[in-house]
Structure 1
Amino acid sequence: MINQEITEHQKRLEQFLQHLESARQLEDDIMKYGLEAADLYFEDIDGDWLETWGDDDDEPGYIEKLTTFLESDDVVAVEVRERLQDKSLDEIIGGLEYCLSQLKEEDRIFAAKDFLFGDVVVSESCRASGNSSYIDEVELLALAEDLMERLKEILG
């Protein structure tokens, strides 16, 4: 048992040292060759890979999935559209992207509740829900939970 733990720690240390050496080599190559160092690490760097990124994907992307959901007759999507009727689809998607970017699930839910309430400046995460009723807060929280659950199902 102790030998296995030592072996695990040794393997992790060896991997770390390998990554550290690779990073040092990359740094040295960048210092030595400048931007030309990219040619050492990437094949077909001058190709059209950026322009054709995602062309071979048959599955719709992140934004397309959000848009399809928001335009659907799903009960949650309808309620979100009604709640945020003064916002454009792009603004709603931007707000949902912010909510989904939160690391913890409970932070995502509360960010979604605040976004649905309409008091949140998405980039600054400013809350001002002092003049709402308790019932409205609970309803919004339930809608936010449903919304985050639906988005988790849709986006994977």
Structure 2
Amino acid sequence: MGKQRSVEPQERLETFLEHLAAARDLQRNWMTYGLDYVDRYVEDVDGDWWEKWEEEEQQSFLDSVIDFLKSDDSIALIVRQQLANKPIPEIAEKLEKYFSFPEAERMFAFRNFLTNSFIEENNGHTPNNFTELELCELITKLLNKLQEISLKYQSQFL
């Protein structure tokens, strides 16, 4: 144990010194080259890497939502059952879209999405076995689940 404690601080110090040297090089290059210093650190800085990265990020979140909807999670099962006439990718796209709305508008967007599907299936009437309270509870649980997925997804990039 005594050796592990003496080695660990030494390794951390060496890592810190490496990072400090890299930061100093970055600062020196910035002072020498101005904004052109970025070319030394980023390949294809003028390319479309930002757009590609955004597309990959959105697609990955969408894939996570699709995986959730295909799972045996109780919330996913209810959503699939209530939206049985819609394919899972379409449901996931709508959920992703509505989840990106401002927080104050999300609940209404989800409610409209789910109730419009109910109305389509039931000739304009909300089914008797699904009360407004149950709908609100479902939406709250669904929003919490999407928030959970979002947090897991974001932690991959940290």
Provide the TM-score with structure 2 as the length reference.
Answer: 0.52
Deviation at 1:133, TM superposition (A): 6.5
**Mapped contact 1:110–1:141 kept (Cα < 8 A):** no
Deviation at 1:110, TM superposition (A): 2.2
1:111 & 1:48 partners in 2: Cα distance?
A: 33
More helix by share: 2
Alignment correspondent of 2:145: 150
Give secondary structure in 2 for the equivalent of 1:61. helix
Deviation at 1:46, TM superposition (A): 5.6
1:149 & 1:51 partners in 2: Cα distance?
A: 28
Matches within 5 A, 1:4-153: 43=39, 44-45=44-45, 49=49, 53=53, 61-104=60-103, 106-118=104-116, 131-132=125-126, 136-153=131-148
Deviation at 1:98, TM superposition (A): 2.4
Q: Which runs of 5+ in 2 are unaligned?
A: 1-35, 119-123, 152-158
Alignment correspondent of 2:18: none
> After superposition, what is the alpha-carbon deviation per residue over 1:62-99, rounded to whole angstroms, capped at 9, x for unaligned?
11211111111000001000010100112101210222
- Aligned Cα RMSD in Å? 3.5
Letter in 1 for 2:126: S
Pick closer, same or farther for the CA change 1:61–1:137 going to 2, 3 Å: same
Deviation at 1:119, TM superposition (A): 5.0
**Mapped contact 1:100–1:108 kept (Cα < 8 A):** yes
Deviation at 1:137, TM superposition (A): 2.0
Name the larger-Rg structure.
2
Q: Greater RCO between the two (CA within 8 Å, min separation 6)?
A: 2
> After superposition, what is the alpha-carbon deviation per residue over 1:10-57, rounded to whole angstroms, capped at 9, x for unaligned?
xxxxxxxxxxxxxxxxxxxxxxxxxxxxxx7x7424658469748xx9
1:137 & 1:96 partners in 2: Cα distance?
A: 19
Letter in 2 for 1:111: A
**Mapped contact 2:83–2:117 kept (Cα < 8 A):** no
Q: Which runs of 5+ in 1 are unaligned?
A: 1-39, 121-129
Task: Provide the identity percentage.
Answer: 35
Aligned residues: 104
